[in-house]
């Protein structure tokens, strides 16, 4: 959530940033924010002035009673009663204005970092680098949805029977590959100084609002309506919310957490080859990294997170590229996002496997996540997160890129976890 003071003090730069996102009616909404905030402050000032007057009169009543001026004391009491009613009315108005301001700010996305390119869609994203050699496959190469059927390692039909489309059943070496990847990703994170956590996969509304999934992505989340809980779309939500309403000490920063969870997305996309097989699912496994950072260090942390994810892809021997997302393709809460895409040699296209983002103070403002500096004053921290990694498209790429005439070769780094080197 944007800071009102930042909007007021840097109106033009905030407006230009939101226009880079192609955010409709940005100028009108920003002016509405400032007008509501002005009314809120004026209401608060009126309330404070009346409270001060009431306090002064209350002190006078005692003096008047001692002096025997009973009639004047009664008039003063009557005035305090009037003031109490006015204060009550102003408090109600103030509460309503605060809620109106909050709900309006919920609709405003984060301001992009200055390095974010202009653009409206994925076609306008900027390629930062490419790494690795695209493999040459046999003429009879198969996409992963045919490979998994051929080797009987993932069963989509059985998943439909149990739950519906988008809920595959992993079995045999397919299940072992899933487990191997999860353990590999977690072990690598621990080596890099992350603390592992195992969070709930259900969150409440406060958590959804804290990290920005609500109200922006409410329709994309599965909801347990009786208990007003949501199945998580990513471990970012519960892990970051561990620090909601928390004041950290500056020396505790940075905080680095990693967690594995299943993830759930109601909106899994349209029909077509680009969402076929493992390309887009309703349920999938993911290892997530989360940073709580000092504002002066957060972009250094973002680059470190990007390099960390790239190192995982290098160890898995997968060709990849890094994109800097344009304003029109960024997530609602992000200030800067790098996407990592792996090349699928069978599908002959790039598949997104990770997003690494800096949210600056946007989430922290919603979360009331602060830290206390040496001067003992508090300020908002910066939050960052990244997929390290999401499994479905990694599995798809491993299967497709490593297929041979006599089976599918496994990346060397996974063999100790798998207990076999080929499917």
Annotated binding-site positions for L-serine: 234, 265, 288, 385
Helix axes 26-66, 70-106, angle to 10 degrees: 160
The string over 352-391, giving b where at least 16 C-beta atoms fall within 10 Å of a residue's C-beta and e elsewhere, is: ebbbbbbbbbbbbbbbebbbeeeeeeeebbbbbbbbbbbb
Q: Give the three-state DSSP class for 347.
A: coil
For 198-260, what is the HEC assignment? Answer: CCCCEEEHHHHHHHCCCCCCHHHCCEECCCCEEECCCCHHHHHHCCCCCEEEHHHCCEEEEEE
d(CA 111, CA 6): 11
Residue among 410, 318, 279, 274 nearest 134 (CA): 318
- Residue numbering of the annotated binding site: 234, 265-267, 288, 352-355, 385
At 369, list the tokens.
């996540």
By DSSP bridging, strand 255-264 and strand 195-196 are parallel
Q: How, if at all, do strands 336-344 and 349-358 pair?
A: antiparallel
Strands 223-224, 229-231: parallel, antiparallel or unpaired by DSSP? antiparallel
**In the block, residue with structure tokens 């021997």:** 317
Instruction: Determine the 3-state secondary structure of 15 from DSSP.
Output: helix
49 vs 31: CA distance, rounded Å? 27
Contact yes or no for 394/279 (Cβ under 8 A): no
From CA 158, how far away is CA 152, in angstroms rounded? Answer: 12
387's CB contacts (< 8 A; 6+ apart) are 234, 286, 287, 288, 309, 353, 354, 355, 356
Could you tell me how many residues make up the chain? 423
Q: How far apart are CA 248 and CA 310, in angstroms?
A: 30
């Amino acid at each position: 959530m944007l800071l009102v003071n930042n909007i007021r003090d840097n109106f033009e730069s905030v407006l230009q940033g939101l226009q880079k996102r192609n955010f409709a009616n940005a100028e009108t909404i920003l002016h509405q924010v400032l007008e509501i905030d002005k009314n809120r402050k004026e209401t608060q000032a009126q309330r404070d002035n009346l409270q001060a007057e009431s306090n002064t009169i209350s002190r006078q009543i005692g003096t008047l009673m001692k002096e025997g001026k009973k009639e004047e004391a009664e008039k003063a009491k009557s005035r305090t009663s009037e003031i109490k009613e006015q204060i009550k009315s102003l408090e109600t108005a103030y509460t309503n204005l605060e809620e109106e301001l909050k709900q309006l700010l919920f609709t405003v996305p984060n301001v992009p970092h200055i390095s974010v390119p202009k653009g409206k869609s994925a076609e306008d994203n900027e390629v930062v680098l490419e790494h690795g050699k695209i493999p040459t496959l046999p003429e009879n190469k198969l996409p992963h949805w045919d490979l998994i059927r051929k080797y009987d390692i993932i069963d989509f039909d059985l998943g439909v029977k149990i739950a519906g489309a988008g809920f595959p059943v992993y079995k045999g070496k397919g299940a072992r590959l899933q487990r191997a990847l999860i353990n590999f990703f977690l072990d690598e994170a621990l080596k890099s100084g992350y603390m592992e956590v195992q969070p709930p996969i259900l969150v409440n509304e406060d958590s959804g609002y804290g990290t920005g999934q609500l109200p922006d992505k409410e329709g994309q989340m599965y909801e347990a309506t009786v208990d007003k809980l949501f199945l998580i779309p990513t471990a970012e939500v519960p892990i970051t919310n561990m620090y909601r309403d928390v004041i950290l000490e500056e020396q505790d920063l940075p905080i680095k957490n990693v967690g594995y969870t299943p993830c759930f997305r109601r909106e899994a996309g349209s029909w077509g080859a680009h969402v076929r097989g493992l390309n887009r699912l309703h349920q999938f496994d993911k290892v997530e990294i989360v940073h709580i950072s000092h504002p002066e260090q957060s972009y250094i942390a973002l680059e470190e997170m990007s390099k960390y994810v790239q190192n995982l892809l290098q160890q898995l021997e997968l060709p990849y590229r890094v994109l800097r997302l344009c304003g029109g393709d960024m997530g609602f809460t992000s200030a800067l996002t790098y996407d990592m895409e792996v090349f699928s040699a069978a599908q002959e296209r790039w598949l997104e496997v990770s997003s690494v983002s800096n949210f600056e103070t946007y989430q922290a403002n919603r979360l009331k996540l602060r830290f206390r500096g040496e001067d003992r004053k508090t300020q908002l921290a910066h939050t960052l997160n990244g997929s390290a990694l999401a499994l479905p498209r990694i599995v798809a790429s491993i299967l497709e890129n490593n297929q041979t005439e006599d089976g599918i070769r496994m990346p060397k780094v996974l063999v100790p976890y798998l207990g076999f080197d080929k499917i």
